[in-house]
C-alpha cells in the first residue's frame, strides 16, 4: 500500500510511488479518482503481468510460427484451426486466492471466468478441466473443507451451465495447505467463421457498445482505498473481495452471445473479468485503435447511488461487452430480449483514440485508449535457492518393508488413488461428445459431432518434481501431459499454461518461475508445440511461514485424433496379450511418491528430459498406431510403472505375469526400477504375434521397448526377476485405490 | 404424414441440443428446438422436456418451468394423448406441473452424481417403452443432484402400473447398491395412468449412440423409436 496526494487529498493505492509518477507523466496532469482506480487495477500484477511479461516474451510468436494457430498469447484464449472449418479455443486460468478464502464461490467464479474467456472468442464452450492442489487430506480438516467445497463449486457451476468437466488432476502436499491451487481450463468449439466474427477489439468507429448480462454491483471492487471523506463511506464490509457466481445467468449469456454472434452484426466481443468495465473498454478501444464515449448512468447497477469509481471497477460476474454494427443494433438487442437478459447501450466508438467516460454530464475518465495497458515492467531478480543442494543430495534409504506392502501403500496414497469421488460429481457427459470418459483414459476425448474427428485434452504437472528442478520439471510436465493425449491416440496440437508461483519479489520464488518458463519454451520449440496462451498467478506464498507453494506450472495440451478407430484407451483388454514398456527407467526417485509416502523424503534426483528420446518414442507410438498394433496404452507417472500396470488391470479384472529380468538395463536397485518416475515411458498392450514386428520398428526408431510380462485371466499380478517375488491381488488393490478419498471425505 | 417433435428450450436447459441431435440425426425424425414462450402444441405430435437446470433450479428443481406457458400447451397434448417425455430436469418439471405424481428429492448422498447405471423395464406398455421387453435391463447414464423419487402413494402407482423403470444391477436385482440416489423402491421413471407421459432421471439421449456407451449399447434409442411408432399408430 502506498500513500499519495491526489488533488490535495491523501489516497492509498496499491501501485508504487514510481508508478504513480508515471501515471501523472503519461497524462501530464493528476488523474481523477476513477482514472487512478483504473490504473491501479490495470497495472496490477494480475492484469498487467508486469513481473512475468519480460519472461513470457519467450512465448510470443506462436501465430507466426505455426500456420494453424489463429490466436496466440495475449488474446482471451488461444485458438487453433483443426481443419474441416472448425476452430478450437482454449485457455487455463488460476482462481487460487479467492478459493483459499471462500472455496465454493471462489472455484465457481473461476469456472465462470474461464467460460467467458472462451465464449468471447465467439465459440461454444464444450469442456472444462480443473487441476487442483491442496494440503494433505489425512488428519487435516481444513484441507478437507477446501477440497470438498472447491469440487462442489466447480460441479455446481459447470453442471448448471451444461459444460462437461472432462478432466483434471489433484495433488495433495503440505506446501498447499494455506495456498490451495484452483486452476480452471475451458475448451470451446466453433466454426472459423464464428471466431472471425468475434475479435476482442473495437476497430470500427461509430459502433455501439452494449453491456449485457448481470447487473453491476459493489462486489469484487479492490485496489485503491481512499482516506478522503467521500470514500470512507465505502466500508470494507460493503465490498466483498470474492465475487458470487450465477451459473444460470451464465448459461443464458452463453446462449444469447452465441445467437448474437450468429446474426453477423457483432463486430467485437469482450468479457468483463478482472478490472471490470475499465479493463473491457480500454482493451477494446486500445487494441482496436479507436476511442469511445461511454455514459456510466446507462449502466444498470445492483443498487442505487454507485459512484463512477465503483461502476468502472466493479468485478460483478456474468457480464459481457458487445461492439455492434449500427445497422444491426435492434437485431442484436432482440436476441438479448428473447433470453430476457438485461442490457444497456452504454456508448459508441469513435476515431478519437481516447476513452472518455461520462457520469451524466461530468467527464470522469479521459485517457488515451492504450494508456491503461502500457504498464511498466519489472525486471525481477532471480536466485537459485540454497536448500536445493541439500535436497538433491538426498539418498534413498533401503526399504524396511516388502514391495507388496509398499505398492499397496502407494496405490492407496492420496496422490495416486482414484479420483472418482471428484469426477462423479461433475456432469462429464452433457453435450453428448464424451467418448473417453473420466477414469477410462489418460485424457478426456470428445467427438466433434458430424465429423470423424476427436479432441483429446489433458492437464497437469508434477509439483514435487518442479520443486526440485523447475526447468526439467516443467519439461517433464509437458512430456507427461502430451503423453496423456498420445496414450489416447491423439497428436498434441497446442499448449496453454498456468504458472502458479510464490512472491515474484523474492528472488528464489522468481527463479522457479523463470526456469519453468524456460523449460516450457525450450521443450515446445524443440518438439514443435505452439504455446497459445497462459496465465500467471504469483504470491502463492504463506505470509506467516514465508514459504511458497511448490512450483506448479500447470500445462494443458489439446490433441486431435482422426478416426474413431484410432482412439486408444487405458484398460488392458485380453489375457494372453503382451505387456511392453516403452522407454528406459532411470534412477530418478527425486520428488517421487515412493520417497514421500514410504520414506518421508522430498529430495533426490528428479527426472531429466531428453527431447530426442521423447520425440523418438512418440514417433514410434504413432507408427504402431498406424499399423494397429496397440490394444491399450497408459503413460507412466506417479508411483512408477508398476502403478500404471496395476491401474490398467482394474477395469476388466485382468492379471499380469511379469518378469523384469531383462528390463533392468541400467542395473538399478529394485526399488529404483519399480518406483522411479522417469517421464516419457508408456505401458502398452500388444498381441504376442506382433512382437517381432514391434521390436523391429522399435529398433528402426531407436527406442527401447521391452516385453515385461503377459496378461492373464486371474486377477493378480506376479512379479519375478527382483530380489524378492511379489504377488498382488487386483481386487484388493482396487479396493485400496477406490476407498482412500471416500474414507477421508465421508465422515 | 410427417411426424414433428418439439424439444422445449427452457432458460437453463442444457440437454436440449443433445435431444435435438439424437432425434434429428440418429432417429431421423423432424425435431425443432422451441423456446418455451414460443411453443404451440398444435404444430407437434410429441414433445421432449430436456434435462438441465431450468431457471437455474432456483426455488426448487423444475418448479419455475412448471409455470411456463409451454406447460399449458403441453397439458393440451397430455389430454389428447400425444406423447410427452421429461428427462432429468424434464422429469422434475413434469412432477412439479403435476403431470406425474410424487416428488424428486435431493440425492441421499447429498452430492451430484454422474455415472452409467442399469434400469430394469417394469412397464413395457407405455408410449416410450412398448418396443422393450418387460424385465429388460438397460444401460443408461444419470447426472443429477435431485433425483431421489418419493411418493406417499406407492400402492396407487403400483396398481395403476405407473412404475416404468427401476434401478437394478446388471442382472436385474433391485439392490440398494444399484440405487444411485436413494429413490423409493429403486424407482427411476414413472408414467401417467394413460401411459402416454413418461418422466425419468436417466438420459436416453446420452445412450443412443454406441460411440458414447461404455459397452457400445444403444438402449436409449428404443425410447424414441417407441415414441415414433406410438405416434404413427395414433395417427393412422
Total CB pairs under 8 A between chain A and B: 85
In this prediction, residue A4 carries a pLDDT of: 85
Sorted by sequence, the CB contacts under 8 Å of residue A46 that are 6+ apart come out as: A274
ipTM for this model:
0.95
Whole-number Å distance between alpha carbons of A28 and A32 = 12
pLDDT tens digits, one per residue of B51-98: 999 999 999 999 999 999 999 999 999 999 999 999 999 999 999 999
Long-range contacts of A398-406 (CB under 8 A, 24+ apart): A399/A598, A399/A599, A399/A671, A401/A598, A402/A724, A402/A726, A403/A670, A403/A671, A403/A674, A403/A719, A403/A722, A403/A724, A403/A726, A404/A726, A404/A727, A404/A728, A406/A594, A406/A598, A406/A671, A406/A675
- pLDDT interval class at A124 (50, 70, 90): very high
In this prediction, residue A273 carries a pLDDT of: 82
Q: Which three cell numbers stand for residue B127?
A: 408410449
Partners of B115 on chain A (C-beta within 8 Å) are 424
Q: Is B146 in the A-facing interface, judged by CB distances under 8 Å?
A: no
In this prediction, residue A547 carries a pLDDT of: 83
In this prediction, residue A222 carries a pLDDT of: 63
Whether B56 sits inside 8 A of A426 (CB atoms) is no
Whole-number Å distance between alpha carbons of A729 and A373 = 60
Average pLDDT rounded to a whole number, residues A647-658:
96
How many angstroms away from the CA of B155 is the closest CA of chain A? 33
In this prediction, residue A241 carries a pLDDT of: 56
Average pLDDT rounded to a whole number, residues B131-136:
97
Buried b (16+ CB within 10 A) or exposed e, A364-390: bbbbbbebbeebeebebebeebeeeee
pLDDT tens digits, one per residue of A79-107: 999 999 999 999 999 999 889 889 999 99
B23, B32 contact by CB (below 8 A): no
Q: Is B69 in the A-facing interface, judged by CB distances under 8 Å?
A: no
Partners of A449 on chain B (C-beta within 8 Å) are 21, 25
pLDDT tens digits, one per residue of B38-59: 999 999 999 999 999 999 999 9
Partners of B114 on chain A (C-beta within 8 Å) are 423-429
In this prediction, residue A229 carries a pLDDT of: 32
Residue A440 has pLDDT above 60, yes or no: yes
Q: Which residues pair with A477 in a beta bridge?
A: none
- pLDDT interval class at A439 (50, 70, 90): confident
Average pLDDT rounded to a whole number, residues A454-458:
98
Whether B114 sits inside 8 A of A162 (CB atoms) is no
Residue A474 has pLDDT above 60, yes or no: yes
Partners of A429 on chain B (C-beta within 8 Å) are 114, 141, 143, 203, 206, 212
B197 is catalytic: no
Q: Is A283 in the B-facing interface, judged by CB distances under 8 Å?
A: no
Q: Is A251 in the B-facing interface, judged by CB distances under 8 Å?
A: yes
In this prediction, residue A14 carries a pLDDT of: 83
Q: Is A167 in the B-facing interface, judged by CB distances under 8 Å?
A: no
pLDDT tens digits, one per residue of A163-200: 999 999 999 999 999 899 999 999 999 999 989 888 88
- 170-209 in chain B: CB under 8 A from chain A: 203, 205-206, 209
Q: Which residues pair with B139 in a beta bridge?
A: B118
Look-up of cell digits 526440485? A468
pLDDT tens digits, one per residue of A153-162: 999 999 999 9
- pLDDT interval class at A231 (50, 70, 90): very low
Whether A430 sits inside 8 A of B209 (CB atoms) is no
Residue B108 has pLDDT above 90, yes or no: yes
- pLDDT interval class at A747 (50, 70, 90): low
To probe the interface with B, which of A124, A425, A430, A747 has the most B CB atoms within 10 Å? A430
- pLDDT interval class at A317 (50, 70, 90): confident
Residue of A nearest to B37 (CA): A338
Residue A239 has pLDDT above 90, yes or no: no
Whether A429 sits inside 8 A of B141 (CB atoms) is yes
Which of B14, B58, B114 shows the shortest C-beta gap to A162?
A: B14
Q: Is B73 in the A-facing interface, judged by CB distances under 8 Å?
A: no
Q: Is B77 in the A-facing interface, judged by CB distances under 8 Å?
A: no
How many angstroms away from the CA of A446 is the closest CA of chain B? 10
pTM: 0.94
Query: Cβ of A22: how many Cβ atoms within 10 Å?
Result: 17
Whether A339 sits inside 8 A of B11 (CB atoms) is yes
- 8-37 in chain B: CB under 8 A from chain A: 11-15, 17-18, 21-22, 25, 35
Partners of A247 on chain B (C-beta within 8 Å) are 53, 56
Partners of B12 on chain A (C-beta within 8 Å) are 160, 248, 251-252
Choose the CATH number for A199-369 among 3.90.650.10, 3.30.429.10, 3.40.50.300, 3.40.50.720. 3.90.650.10
Domain boundaries, chain A: 199-369
In this prediction, residue A242 carries a pLDDT of: 64
How many angstroms away from the CA of A429 is the closest CA of chain B? 8
Whether A427 sits inside 8 A of B11 (CB atoms) is no
In this prediction, residue A47 carries a pLDDT of: 83
Partners of A338 on chain B (C-beta within 8 Å) are 35
Region of poorest pLDDT, from A228-232, A615-619, B25-29, B190-194? A228-232
pLDDT tens digits, one per residue of A247-305: 999 999 999 999 999 999 999 999 998 788 999 999 999 989 999 999 999 999 999 98
SS3 content of chain B, % helix, strand, coil (to 5): 30, 25, 40
Look-up of cell digits 468471447? A120
Residue A228 has pLDDT above 70, yes or no: no
| Domains of chain B listed by start with CATH number | 4-235 (3.40.50.880)
In this prediction, residue A351 carries a pLDDT of: 94
Q: Is A338 in the B-facing interface, judged by CB distances under 8 Å?
A: yes
In this prediction, residue A41 carries a pLDDT of: 86
Which of B25, B53, B206 shows the shortest C-beta gap to A429?
A: B206
Residue A232 has pLDDT above 50, yes or no: no
3-state SS record for chain B: CCCEEEEEECCCECCHHHHHHHHHHHHCCEEEEEEHHHCCHHHCCEEEECCECHHHHCCCCCCCHHHCHHHHHHHHHHHCCCCEEEECHHHHHHHHCCCCCCEEECCCCCCCEEEEEEEEECCCCCCCCCCCCCCCEEEEEEEECCCEEECCCHHHHHHCCCEEEEEECCCCCCCCCCCCCCCHHHEEEEECCCCCEEEECCCHHHHCCHHHCCCCCCCHHHHHHHHHHHHHHHHC
Residue A287: Cβ-neighbour burial (10 angstroms; 0-12, 13-18, 19+)? buried
Q: Which residues pair with A633 in a beta bridge?
A: A684
- pLDDT interval class at A412 (50, 70, 90): very high
Q: Report the number of secondary-structure helices (H) and strands (E) in chain A.
A: 27, 29
In this prediction, residue A235 carries a pLDDT of: 39
How many angstroms away from the CA of A244 is the closest CA of chain B? 15
- pLDDT interval class at B215 (50, 70, 90): very high
Question: Which candidate, B120, B121, B118, B143, places its Cα nearest to that of B130?
Answer: B121
B191 is catalytic: no
Whole-number Å distance between alpha carbons of A42 and A51 = 13
In this prediction, residue A6 carries a pLDDT of: 83
Residue A238 has pLDDT above 70, yes or no: no
Average pLDDT rounded to a whole number, residues A317-336:
95
**C-alpha angle A327-A332-A333 in degrees, rounded to nearest 5:** 110
How many angstroms away from the CA of B205 is the closest CA of chain A? 8
Question: Is A49 strand, coil or helix?
Answer: coil
A46 is catalytic: yes
**Which residue has better confidence, A232 or A388?**
A388
Report, in angstroms and rounded to the nearest whole number, the Rg of chain B calculated over CA atoms.
16
Q: Is B143 in the A-facing interface, judged by CB distances under 8 Å?
A: yes
Q: Is A166 in the B-facing interface, judged by CB distances under 8 Å?
A: no
Which of A248, A423, A432 shows the shortest C-beta gap to B12?
A: A248
pLDDT mean across residues, chain A: 92
Q: Is B55 in the A-facing interface, judged by CB distances under 8 Å?
A: yes
Average pLDDT rounded to a whole number, residues A112-141:
95
- pLDDT interval class at A226 (50, 70, 90): very low
Q: Which residues pair with A555 in a beta bridge?
A: A460, A497
Partners of A447 on chain B (C-beta within 8 Å) are 211
How many angstroms away from the CA of A250 is the closest CA of chain B? 9
Amino acid at each position: 500500500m502506498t500513500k499519495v496526494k491526489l488533488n490535495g487529498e491523501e489516497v492509498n493505492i496499491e501501485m508504487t510511488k514510481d508508478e504513480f509518477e508515471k501515471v501523472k507523466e503519461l497524462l501530464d496532469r493528476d488523474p481523477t479518482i476513477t482514472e487512478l482506480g483504473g490504473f491501479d487495477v490495470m497495472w496490477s500484477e494480475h492484469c498487467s503481468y508486469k513481473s512475468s511479461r519480460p519472461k513470457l516474451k519467450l512465448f510470443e510468436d506462436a501465430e507466426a510460427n505455426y500456420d494453424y494457430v489463429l490466436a496466440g498469447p495475449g488474446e482471451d484464449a488461444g485458438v487453433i484451426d483443426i481443419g474441416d472449418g472448425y476452430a478450437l479455443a482454449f485457455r487455463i486460468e488460476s482462481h487460487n486466492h479467492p478459493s483459499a478464502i471462500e472455496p465454493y464461490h471462489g472455484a465457481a467464479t473461476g469456472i465462470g471466468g474461464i467460460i467467458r474467456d472462451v465464449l468471447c472468442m465467439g465459440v461454444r464452450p464444450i469442456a472444462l478441466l480443473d487441476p487442483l492442489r491442496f494440503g494433505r487430506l489425512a488428519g487435516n480438516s481444513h484441507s478437507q473443507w477446501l477440497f470438498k467445497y472447491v469440487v462442489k463449486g466447480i460441479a455446481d457451476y459447470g453442471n448448471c451451465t451444461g459444460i462437461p468437466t472432462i478432466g483434471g488432476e489433484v495433488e495433495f502436499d503440505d506446501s498447499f495447505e494455506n495456498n490451495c491451487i484452483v486452476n480452471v481450463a475451458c475448451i470451446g468449439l466453433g466454426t472459423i467463421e464464428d471466431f472471425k466474427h468475434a475479435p476482442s477489439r473495437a476497430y470500427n468507429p461509430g459502433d455501439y457498445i452494449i453491456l449485457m448480462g448481470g447487473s453491476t454491483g459493489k462486489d469484487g471492487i479492490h485496489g485503491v482505498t481512499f482516506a478522503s471523506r467521500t470514500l470512507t463511506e465505502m466500508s470494507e464490509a460493503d465490498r466483498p473481495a470474492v465475487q458470487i457466481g450465477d451459473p444460470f445467468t451464465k448459461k443464458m449469456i452463453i446462449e444469447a452471445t452465441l445467437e448474437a454472434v450468429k446474426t453477423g452484426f457483432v463486430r467485437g466481443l469482450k468479457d468483463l473479468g478482472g478490472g471490470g468495465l475499465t479493463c473491457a473498454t480500454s482493451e477494446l478501444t486500445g487494441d482496436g485503435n479507436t476511442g469511445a464515449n461511454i455514459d456510466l448512468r446507462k449502466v444498470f447497477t445492483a443498487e442505487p447511488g454507485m459512484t463512477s469509481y465503483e461502476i468502472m471497477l466493479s468485478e460483478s460476474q456474468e457480464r459481457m461487452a458487445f461492439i455492434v454494427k449500427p445497422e444491426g443494433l435492434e437485431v442484436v438487442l432482440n436476441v438479448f430480449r428473447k433470453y430476457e437478459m438485461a442490457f444497456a447501450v452504454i456508448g459508441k466508438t469513435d476515431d478519437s483514440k481516447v476513452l472518455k467516460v461520462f457520469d451524466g454530464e461530468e467527464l470522469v475518465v479521459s485517457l488515451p485508449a492504450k494508456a491503461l495497458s502500457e504498464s511498466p515492467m519489472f525486471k525481477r531478480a532471480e536466485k537459485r535457492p540454497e536448500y536445493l543442494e541439500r535436497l538433491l543430495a538426498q539418498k534413498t534409504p533401503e526399504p524396511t518393508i516388502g514391495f507388496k506392502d509398499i505398492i499397496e501403500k502407494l496405490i492407496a496414497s492420496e496422490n495416486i488413488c482414484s479420483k472418482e469421488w471428484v469426477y462423479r460429481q461433475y456432469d462429464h457427459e452433457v453435450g453428448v461428445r464424451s467418448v473417453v470418459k473420466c477414469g477410462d483414459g489418460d485424457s478426456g476425448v470428445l467427438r466433434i459431432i458430424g465429423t470423424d474427428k476427436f479432441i483429446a485434452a489433458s492437464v497437469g504437472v508434477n509439483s514435487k518434481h518442479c520443486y526440485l528442478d523447475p526447468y526439467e520439471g516443467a519439461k517433464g510436465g509437458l512430456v507427461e501431459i502430451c503423453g496423456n493425449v498420445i496414450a489416447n491416440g491423439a497428436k498434441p496440437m497446442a499448449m496453454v499454461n498456468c504458472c502458479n508461483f510464490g512472491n515474484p519479489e523474492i528472488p528464489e520464488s522468481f527463479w522457479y518461475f523463470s526456469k519453468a518458463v524456460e523449460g516450457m519454451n525450450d521443450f515446445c520449440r524443440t518438439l514443435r508445440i505452439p504455446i497459445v496462451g497462459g496465465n500467471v498467478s504469483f504470491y502463492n506464498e504463506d505470509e506467516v511461514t514465508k514459504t511458497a507453494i511448490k512450483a506448479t506450472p500447470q500445462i494443458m495440451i489439446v490433441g486431435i485424433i482422426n478416426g474413431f478407430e484410432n482412439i486408444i484407451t487405458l484398460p488392458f483388454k485380453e489375457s494372453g496379450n503382451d505387456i511392453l514398456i516403452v522407454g528406459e527407467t532411470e534412477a530418478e526417485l527425486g520428488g517421487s511418491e515412493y520417497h514421500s509416502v514410504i520414506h518421508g523424503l522430498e529430495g533426490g534426483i528428479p527426472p531429466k528430459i531428453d527431447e530426442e528420446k521423447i520425440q523418438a518414442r512418440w514417433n514410434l507410438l504413432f507408427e504402431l498406431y498406424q499399423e494397429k498394433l496397440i490394444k491399450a496404452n497408459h503413460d507412466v507417472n506417479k508411483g512408477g510403472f508398476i502403478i500404471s500396470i496395476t491401474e490398467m488391470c482394474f477395469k476388466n479384472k485382468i492379471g499380469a505375469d511379469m518378469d523384469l529380468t531383462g528390463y533392468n538395463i541400467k542395473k538399478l536397485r529394485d526399488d529404483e526400477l519399480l518406483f522411479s518416475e522417469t517421464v516419457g515411458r508408456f505401458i502398452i498392450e500388444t498381441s504376442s504375434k506382433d512382437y517381432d514386428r514391434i521390436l523391429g520398428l522399435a529398433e528402426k526408431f531407436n527406442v527401447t521397448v521391452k516385453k515385461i510380462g503377459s496378461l492373464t485371466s486371474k486377477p493378480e499380478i506376479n512379479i519375478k526377476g527382483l530380489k524378492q517375488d511379489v504377488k498382488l491381488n487386483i481386487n484388493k488393490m482396487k479396493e485400496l485405490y477406490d476407498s482412500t478419498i471416500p474414507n477421508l471425505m465421508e465422515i | 404424414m410427417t411426424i414433428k417433435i418439439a424439444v422445449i428450450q427452457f432458460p437453463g436447459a442444457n440437454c436440449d441440443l443433445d435431444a435435438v441431435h439424437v432425434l434429428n440425426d440418429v432417429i431421423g425424425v423432424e425435431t425443432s428446438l422451441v423456446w418455451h414462450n414460443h411453443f404451440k402444441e398444435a404444430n407437434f405430435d410429441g414433445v421432449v422436456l430436456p434435462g438441465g437446470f431450468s431457471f437455474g433450479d432456483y426455488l426448487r428443481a423444475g418448479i419455475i418451468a412448471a409455470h411456463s406457458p409451454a406447460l399449458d400447451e403441453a397439458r393440451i397434448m397430455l389430454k389428447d394423448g400425444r406423447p410427452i417425455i421429461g428427462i432429468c430436469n424434464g422429469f422434475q418439471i413434469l412432477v412439479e406441473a403435476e403431470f406425474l405424481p410424487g416428488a424428486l428429492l435431493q440425492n441421499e448422498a447429498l452430492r451430484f452424481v454422474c455415472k452409467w447405471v442399469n434400469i430394469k423395464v417394469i412397464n413395457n406398455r407405455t408410449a416410450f417403452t412398448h418396443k422393450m421387453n418387460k424385465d429388460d435391463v438397460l444401460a443408461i447414464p444419470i447426472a443429477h443432484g435431485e433425483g431421489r423419487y418419493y411418493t406417499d402413494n406407492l400402492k396407487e402407482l403400483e396398481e395403476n402400473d405407473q412404475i416404468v423403470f427401476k434401478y437394478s444391477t446388471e442382472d436385474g436385482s433391485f439392490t440398494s447398491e444399484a440405487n444411485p440416489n436413494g429413490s423409493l423402491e429403486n424407482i427411476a421413471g414413472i408414467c401417467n395412468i394413460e401411459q402416454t407421459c413418461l418422466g425419468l432421471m436417466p438420459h436416453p439421449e446420452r445412450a443412443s449412440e454406441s460411440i458414447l456407451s461404455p459397452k457400445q449399447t444403444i438402449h436409449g434409442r428404443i425410447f424414441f423409436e417407441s415414441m415414433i411408432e406410438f405416434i404413427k399408430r395414433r395417427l393412422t
